[in-house]
Chain A
Amino acid sequence: QSVLTQPPSVSAAPGQKVTISCSGSSSNIGINYVSWYQQLPGTAPKLLIYDNNKRPSGIPDRFSGSKSGTSATLGITGLQTGDEADYYCGTWDSSLSAGGVFGGGTKLTVL
């Protein structure tokens, strides 16, 4: 059972836009910065978004992040077949059981 909640799967057609939600609580997303990771089949996770909405060098602006209250959202526009992957959100939890936490992951299918 992951601390952060993500939908198990989302799908959309090539060229379309999709959003992936990540729900947390006041001790994690509510006060801390959120990051997002893309995991292509058989590979390690790759950083897509950090500090809620910042993109590392080399990540196209088709990927965007936002946060409101205790939820965060990853947006992907102009979907490509190469975007088909698992996507994870992550943050720090500042509760008594403090530490790094992740969502359960969302499988994106590009139809």
Chain B
Amino acid sequence: QVQLQESGPGLVKPSQTLSLTCTVSGGSISSGGYYWSWIRQYPGKGLEWLGYIYYSGSTYYNPSLKSRVTISVDTSKNHFSLKLSSVTAADTAVFYCARGNYASSGYWAQYYFDYWGQGTLVTVSS
């Protein structure tokens, strides 16, 4: 059974960089086939996809956040990480990591999340 666990500071100051790590157990990131993703949920409940990384290091980010988001992977530690720069109070949310299933033919795309971490609340405040 695959399990994901987020870790990182629960409080970040405005203008600083939010950093989170997702540790995967029960499966190896380097096996390939999955797109390791970050998703956040605002206090008002909406979900926002932030981006994904493949085991090879290939990434794809939400265009609206592209300039502030960086996702990296460390296959030796079986974890992947999120950095969100220049945060403001509007970035306060519960952050989830998830295992993404992605496929595309050029005519259609499939993208869904079959395993999720429990989520971690990050508050941006001075």
**A: which residues have CB within 8 A of B?**
2, 31-33, 35, 37, 43-47, 50-51, 56, 86, 88, 90-92, 94, 96-102, 104-105
A32–B112 CB distance below 8 A: no
Interface size on B, residues (CB 8 A): 31
User: Could you show 25 A-B contacts with beta carbons less than 8 Å apart?
Assistant: A33-B111, A35-B112, A35-B113, A37-B113, A44-B96, A44-B118, A44-B119, A46-B116, A47-B113, A47-B114, A50-B101, A50-B110, A51-B112, A56-B114, A88-B47, A90-B49, A94-B109, A96-B63, A97-B63, A97-B64, A98-B63, A99-B51, A99-B60, A100-B37, A100-B111
Residue among B47, B48, B49, B60 with most chain A CB within 10 A: B47
* CB < 8 Å A-B pair total: 80
Q: What does the 1/0 interface line of B100-120 toward A look like (CB < 8 Å)?
A: 111010011111111011110
B77 within 8 A of A: no
User: Bound state CA distance, A94 and B106, in angstroms?
Assistant: 9
**Chain A residues, Cβ within 8 Å of B28:** none
Classify the secondary structure of B's interface with A. Answer: strand
Interface residues of B (CB under 8 A from A): 37, 39, 45-49, 51-52, 60-64, 96, 100-102, 104, 107-114, 116-119
A56–B113 alpha-carbon span in the complex (Å): 11
Q: A100 contacts which chain B residues (CB < 8 A)?
A: 37, 39, 49, 52, 62, 100, 111
Smallest CB-CB A-B distances: 6 pairs = A100-B49, A35-B112, A92-B109, A102-B47, A92-B111, A44-B116
